[in-house]
Amino acid sequence: METIIVSLFVLGYLAITLEHSLKVDKLIPALAMMALMWAIISLAHLPVFDVNTELKELEPSHLDEILLHHLGKTAEIIIFLLGAMTIVEIIDYFNGFFTIKNFIKTKSKKGLLWIFALLAFILSAIIDNLTATIVLITILQKVISKRDTRLWFAGLIIIAANAGGAWSPIGDVTTTMLWIGDKVTTTKLISYVLLPSLVCLVVPVVVASFTKPFQGEIEQLEEDKTSGYHKHGARMLYLGLSAIVFVPVFKTLTHLPPYVGMMLSLAIVATFAEIFSKAKINITSIDAESDAHQTASPVHSSLSKIELPSILFFLGILLAVAALESLGMLFNFAEGLNVAIPNTDIVVGLLGIGSAVIDNVPLVAASMGMFSMASDNPVWHLIAYSAGTGGSMLIIGSAAGVVAMGMEKIDFFWYLKKITWLALIGFIGGFITFVLMRDYLF
């Protein structure tokens, strides 16, 4: 039976990886394999275990208890992401990100490269790398008219956004998973991963700035300067970003799970959004009238734009990995891997390279079940860096890359030829920086 469960996971994993070839949304195989794996465990009455991280051993548990435990951990991540996504959509409802475009004055390609790279690095640490990429490519399309030039900028934005998301607990889904799972703390994560992430950004941007595509000046688009302006846009941008940044502070002060702080932040942002929009609507009584969308509040409008397929994918993949963890497979696999490859750095480095081919969410979920180190062990921080930045090496290797691919119609092989080597040297540079800092500074 355990062989069948592993086979189901491998087939589901393969279907997720080949999403674009099969033209089947990855949430479908994720949900299917999750349900079938737990069904087999239940029907076959397979023994399930909980990992005791202190004793580094498996402890027998009851199926209902272990499933509820994993569901609770998964729900924490999902509710946190829902709150963050809604706040970002509320900012966008008021065209808050238009404010960022007003800061861009230069026509120099090299200057623009650094502006967009630094904006991606900083924004992704606050609003996550996926959203930062969407925002910056939208702005890019309003600043640069030539598509060939935009493709190069988009490639470097992907690298910068993934680098920025790696050092922040709210910058990347995988880092958020490690943070919520008490594998890393905010201060230690920043102290360990910020400098390597910065190296991962600076190395490819410096090299790229000397290449031909980033020489000279751009031809700016003629546009209406009032287009996209909203009188409350800047206020909502600063309020929304501050609310998201407040979440780690709230967790530190109260020791409550991060999703509680995110819900408080969402409530505050939503309150101001309702006041600014002057919407006269009762949240509990929305009917299906023809003008419902016109009268809906900014909160309802923002909630309707949430990427629910992504949320369901996280549910499926995290609970599927939890099934393997509950059977003790990941724990035993980790022990075998440590015997075969005693150097953990090599294992984590391979995990980072693997995240360019395979979705990094299940990879990190698996690593959380494989390793039993204490919170803030350097291994967890290296996993955060590797999984967060390794995906930049292929256009399909990260959420930021996939969304950029869709927005600019970037060809897989163009990215492989032009951008992959830049992402690789950045990844290696940051990896070496992390190892040196760990061995000689901490």
At 113 the pLDDT is 93
Count other C-beta atoms under 10 Å from residue 278's C-beta: 7
User: pTM score, two decimals?
Assistant: 0.75
At 287 the pLDDT is 46
Which amino acid is residue 129, in one-letter code? N
Find where tokens 């499933």 sit: 67
At 55 the pLDDT is 47
Cite the DSSP H helix spans in 255-307: 258-277, 292-295, 298-303
**What is d(CA 292, CA 287) in angstroms, rounded to the nearest whole number?**
7
**What is d(CA 19, CA 358) in angstroms, rounded to the nearest whole number?**
11
Q: Is the separation of the CB atoms in 166 and 388 below 8 Å?
A: yes
345 SS3 class: helix
What does the block give as tokens for 180? Answer: 């919520």
Q: How far is CA 169 from CA 35, 393, 417, in A?
A: 29, 22, 32
358 SS3 class: coil
Count other C-beta atoms under 10 Å from residue 191's C-beta: 16
**What is d(CA 148, CA 152) in angstroms, rounded to the nearest whole number?**
7
Residue 112's nearest CA partner among 225, 223, 214 is 214
What does the block give as tokens for 70? Answer: 């994993």
59, β-bridge pairs: 50
Count other C-beta atoms under 10 Å from residue 237's C-beta: 20
> pLDDT in tens for each of the 442 residues of the chain?
888 999 998 898 888 777 767 888 888 998 999 999 999 999 998 888 876 544 455 667 788 888 998 899 889 888 988 888 898 889 888 888 787 777 777 788 899 999 999 999 998 998 888 888 888 888 888 788 888 889 999 999 999 999 999 999 988 888 988 998 889 999 999 999 999 999 999 999 999 999 998 988 877 655 545 455 678 888 998 999 899 888 888 988 998 888 999 999 999 999 999 988 874 444 444 444 444 444 468 888 888 888 788 788 878 888 988 888 888 887 777 667 777 887 888 988 988 888 887 667 777 877 887 787 888 899 999 999 999 999 899 887 787 887 788 778 888 789 989 999 999 999 999 999 999 999 988 7
**What is d(CA 15, CA 11) in angstroms, rounded to the nearest whole number?**
6
**What is d(CA 289, CA 4) in angstroms, rounded to the nearest whole number?**
50
**What is d(CA 376, CA 89) in angstroms, rounded to the nearest whole number?**
32
Find where tokens 């941007």 sit: 205
Q: How far is CA 232 from CA 71, 277, 278, 284, in A?
A: 39, 9, 12, 26
**What is d(CA 114, CA 201) in angstroms, rounded to the nearest whole number?**
10
